[in-house]
Chain A
């Protein structure tokens, strides 16, 4: 099963939930993989502290132009929507980091002057934390090919067991890349106006993608009850309420997981893991599916 943990608003506990769930599900005997898709600032490794067993690079294809064959026809520049290849004075100028690797330019080139070549955009760290397989993707600084990097991380989705994808915040392309192919999505939020606002955006996105989902409220007890009212009016199930417990934050700030520092929370996460696994069999009903 592929579970993506996402949120509209940042800082609402995606990594807290993802790492604690991974640990607890693994302790319960499941085969578990944790994939950090927040490739611009991965932080799950700070809590799972995996032993890194292997490092790999992730590459994308970018155009290389043979200037002796280029006729300056300009077709490559016309098909590129990102101005990553621009024909000037019978030579094609390539801006590597603007390229989205669509392959349009080398397909339309009538002179066979353009060939794809790999460009490294980031690194993967593949490791193990107790019984949890941990894959961390790290996009190189200055590169913008975030969705491509996330697809590189997702190549390590396990063939069996539970794969937990820790998504980046927001609702833009990197989040979509993290959500595609998931069997179930858990949207974390906090009971504040900001939490609610960004939750509604995330809900719209997940409904658009047609993936079953539920909500989790972190720091339950602060703010107001508008997230609750929204979820109830939209028919969204709230599968977890993690209380606003200062000790969880203290453990987090020291790089420790709640279930390790505060064993009384293990039951809450175990229950969540079991509920989600049972839901993946298709028993979830939300308004979005019936609409």
Chain B
């Protein structure tokens, strides 16, 4: 299956970006083969979490692995039937590995407030 990981860089060695909506990249990883593509997250003025949610839904991700996810992004992902895993740290490869062996705990809701990733 395809998972989207918020990432600070373009490779599997990159660190997981703690921000979902304001992540630098999303790495779309095929969990069986570890084939991946990097999608740059353009961001924008407002509603970054919603826009990011839409990007990963449209890319066909079935789960999101990230650090923090706010209420708007969480609602968007839920509408798209995308599973959400928050508080994920380490490299993208490590995150995917933990997802595969079932040691990540699925989020029951948002784990931060809106705008948590903007530094305000």
Contact = CB atoms under 8 A, between A and B. Distances in A.
Interface size for chain B: under 10, 10 to 19, 20 to 34, or 35 or more residues?
A: 10 to 19
A88 B46 contact: no
Interface stretch (A35-43, A89-97, A181-189, A254-262): A89-97
Contact of B79 (A82, A84, A91): A91
Interface stretch (B1-9, B47-55, B84-92, B93-101): B47-55
A84 B49 CA distance: 11
Given A88-B80, A89-B80, A83 B51 contact: yes
A95 B79 contact: no
Contacts of B76: 86, 88, 93
Nearest to B47: A83
A86 B54 contact: yes
Contacts of B75: 93, 95
A72 to B, nearest CB: 12
Interface string A157-190: 0000000000000000000000000000000000
B72 interface: yes
Contacts of B80: 88-89
A64 B45 CA distance: 24
Given A81-B45, A95-B72, A98-B72, A89 B81 contact: yes
A186 B52 CA distance: 43
Contacts of A95: 47, 50, 72, 75
Contacts of A89: 79-81
A77 B54 contact: yes
A82 B50 CA distance: 9
A82 B81 contact: no
B23 interface: no
Nearest to A80: B47
B57 interface: yes
Nearest to B54: A86
A95 B48 CA distance: 13
Contact of A98 (B44, B47, B57, B81): B47
Contacts of B44: 83
Interface residues of A, number: 12
Contacts of A98: 46-47, 50, 72
A115 B47 CA distance: 22
A76 B118 CA distance: 26
A84 B72 CA distance: 10
A95 B76 CA distance: 10
Interface in B33-88: 44-48, 50-51, 53-54, 57, 72, 75-76, 79-81
Given A89-B80, A93-B79, A95-B72, A84 B57 contact: no
Nearest to B21: A83
A88 B57 contact: yes
Contacts of B45: 81-82
User: Interface centre among B57, B75, B79, B81, by most A CB within 10 Å?
Assistant: B79
A80 to B, nearest CB: 8
9 contacts: A82-B45, A82-B47, A83-B50, A83-B54, A88-B76, A88-B80, A89-B81, A95-B72, A98-B72
Interface of A: 77, 81-84, 86, 88-89, 91, 93, 95, 98
Minimum-distance CB pairs A-B, first 9: A83-B47, A83-B50, A88-B79, A88-B80, A82-B46, A93-B79, A83-B51, A82-B47, A98-B47
Interface of B: 44-48, 50-51, 53-54, 57, 72, 75-76, 79-81
